[in-house]
Amino acid sequence: MVEELNPFKIAQEQLDRAAQVMNLDKAAHQILREPRRTLVVNMPVRMRGGKVQTFTGFRVQYNDARGPTKGGIRYHPAESLDTVKALAAWMTWKCSLANIPFGGGKGGIICDPKKMDDTELESLSRAYIRAIGTYIGDDRDIPAPDVYTTPQIMAWMMDEYANIIRHNQFGVITGKPVEVWGSEGRTDSTAMGAMFVMREAAKLLKIDLKKAKIAVQGFGNAGMYAYTLSKKMFGSKVVAISDSKGGIYDPDGLDIEKLEDARKRTGSVDAYRGKNAKKITNEQLLALDVDILIPAAIENQVRKDNAGKVEAKLLLELANGPVTPEADQILHENGVLDMPDFLVNSGGVIGSYFEWAQNLTQTYWKTPEFYAKLDEIITKSFKDTVQTRKDYTGKGKKITPRTAAYIIAVDRVAKAMKARGWY
């Protein structure tokens, strides 16, 4: 039987597993299997040379029982509605697990930003906001950056929304530059949250982070910060890292300046120069003998066919959906502690919540205060997940950390829907 790799069907299967364990009300389960609203838009954009190109975009508002929907916007040539629906579902559980007052949403545009200049990217970003502007707002739906989108793109979007409503509403978009009331600490908040989870999980597994060997799949924003923060905060040794073109392994540890130099010279980290460094594939990286494996790239990287090769004691899902349901079970049976994406990478949306709250109150925090609040929220989410897993194990149900986190998140959303009279 071929393993299912459709991201939305995977999200539904994950929900189904948790619903069965927790005996979720059938009506609530039915509501939560599908998004509340799905928007598909087509946007004509004048490109360089005067040619007009039409782009397709999506915005999914999955569930708003606990507050306005919240979620990033991706620019990617392989973007699809099912991917956006899955990400919006995971955002619903992410916000609920963190216990912040948001529902889940997500957006995306089918495009290749690497082939577009800044003028074209600005035109596309503004066109997208004009297309979805009726459906967003700081009390309705709040976008943020995601894959291949940046603080600058968020600033253009915020400005276009201000043009539409004829006044500033800074809280409509998060992940903005600090010059237009973005938040200090937001840029690396996704990876910083993962570091707090790594710290707590290492205590549980008795891993000495000063001696730990780490492999990171992905050298985008999240992966790069995971590299720098793990070394800065704990003194850990990152021995492998990769990007879409390939990876590099060095048992002596990798140097960030050499990694950046390799990427500038050739477009990939696999051109890294080091005495004992050797090129590896993304598949080989996942199977390295390391203490901690951090998938920080894209969906479906650890699957049924390769999950049994994972040697790490701890797997931190910094990417969205990097582990399939069948792989999740294999990792569990092999004794790998796999901490789920909507816990590990929730630092981004928690940081966006902080930015949104600061925009609404016009009271702004310094970075240390931001980090302290992030630590408090995400550490509690981790401990809640571990305790729920213990509780269900005590009832004779040996569940994975993902199912435990789902149980917490789904229960909160279901109770909110029940209180509102949705079922």
Dihedral angle of Cα 387, 336, 3, 390, to the nearest 10 degrees: -20
Whether 213 and 207 have beta carbons less than 8 Å apart is answered as no
Tell which of 142, 171, 200 closes a domain: 171
Same domain, 193 and 140: no
Q: Which pLDDT score, from 0 to 100, does residue 1 have?
A: 57
Whether residue 97 is contained in a domain is answered as yes
Phi, psi of 112 (to 5 degrees): -115, 95
| 88 and 154 fall within a common domain | yes
Residue 230's pLDDT is 95
Report yes or no on 17 lying in a domain: no
313 part of the active site: no
CA distance 344 to 59: 24
- Give me the pLDDT at residue 245, please: 86
Instruction: Please count the other Cβ atoms lying within 10 Å of the Cβ belonging to residue 218.
Output: 26
Q: Indicate the residue among 301, 317, 339 that finishes a domain.
A: 339
Which of these, 376, 363, 355, lies nearest to 187 by C-alpha position? 355
Do residues 48 and 118 make contact, with C-beta atoms less than 8 angstroms apart? no
Section 40-66 average pLDDT = 97
Question: Which residues does residue 278 pair with via DSSP β-bridges, in sequence order?
Answer: 249
At 147 the pLDDT is 86
Q: Are residues 305 and 166 in the same domain?
A: no
Report pLDDT digits (tens) over 233-282.
Answer: 999 999 999 988 889 999 999 988 899 888 888 888 888 888 889 999 99
Residue with tokens 């966006």: 352
CA pseudo-torsion sign 120, 105, 78, 219: positive
Residue 405 within a domain: no
Residue 267 confidence (pLDDT): 85
Whether 126 is in a domain gets the answer: yes
pLDDT, one tens digit per residue, over 298-339 is 888 999 999 999 999 999 999 988 999 999 999 999 999 999
- Structure tokens belonging to residue 124: 């596309």
Residues 78 and 197 in one domain: no
Query: Quick one: three-class SS letters along 2-22?
Result: CCCCCHHHHHHHHHHHHHHHH
pLDDT value, residue 327: 94
233 lies in which domain range? 189-339
- pLDDT for residue 326: 92
Q: Output the domain CATH number for residue 77.
A: 3.40.50.10860
Summarised one tens digit per residue, pLDDT across range 107-166 is 999 999 999 999 999 999 999 999 999 999 999 999 999 989 999 999 999 999 999 999
Q: How far apart, in whole angstroms, are the C-alpha atoms of residue 201 and residue 104?
A: 26
Has residue 266 been placed in a domain? yes
Residue 207 is predicted with a pLDDT of 97
Chain-centroid distance, C-alpha 220? 12
Residue 145 resides in a domain: yes
Please count the structural domains in the chain.
2
Q: Is the same domain home to 193 and 167?
A: no
Give pLDDT, residue 340: 95
Minimal CA–CA distance to 371: which of 225, 257, 218, 236? 225
At residue 106, the pLDDT reads 98
Question: What dihedral angle (degrees, nearest 10) is formed by the CA atoms of 319, 340, 347, 213?
Answer: -70
Confidence band, pLDDT 50/70/90 cuts, at residue 56: very high
In the prediction, which pLDDT does 300 show?
86
* Separate counts of helices (H) and strands (E) for the chain: 14, 12
Angle between helices 189-205 and 367-394 in degrees, nearest 10: 40
Report pLDDT for 395. Answer: 84
E strands in 78-151: 103-110, 141-145
| Distance separating alpha carbons of residues 331 and 143, to the nearest angstrom | 33
Residues 155 and 64 in one domain: yes
- The domain that holds 335 is classified in CATH as 3.40.50.720
> 85, 106, 237, 304: which one is catalytic?
106
Domain shared by 248 and 310, yes or no:
yes
d(CA 48, CA 397): 59
b/e per residue, 354-385, with b = 16+ CB within 10 A? bbbbbbeeeebbeeeebbebbbebbeebbebb
Q: Say which range, 3-7, 37-41, 62-66, 261-265, has the weakest mean pLDDT.
A: 3-7
Percent of the chain predicted with pLDDT > 70: 99
**Dihedral angle of Cα 227, 229, 234, 238, to the nearest 10 degrees:** 0
If asked whether residues 66 and 109 sit together in one domain, one would say yes
Q: What's the confidence (pLDDT) of residue 263?
A: 87
Tell me if 176 is assigned to some domain. no
Shared-domain flag, residues 129 and 197: no
Report how far Cα 384 is from the mean position of its chain's Cα atoms: 20
- pLDDT score, position 2: 59
What pLDDT digit, counting tens, does each position of 373-410 carry? Answer: 999 999 999 999 999 999 998 888 889 999 999 999 99
Q: How far apart are CA 412 and CA 342, in angstroms?
A: 15
Domain boundary among 171, 201, 221: 171
309 in any annotated domain: yes
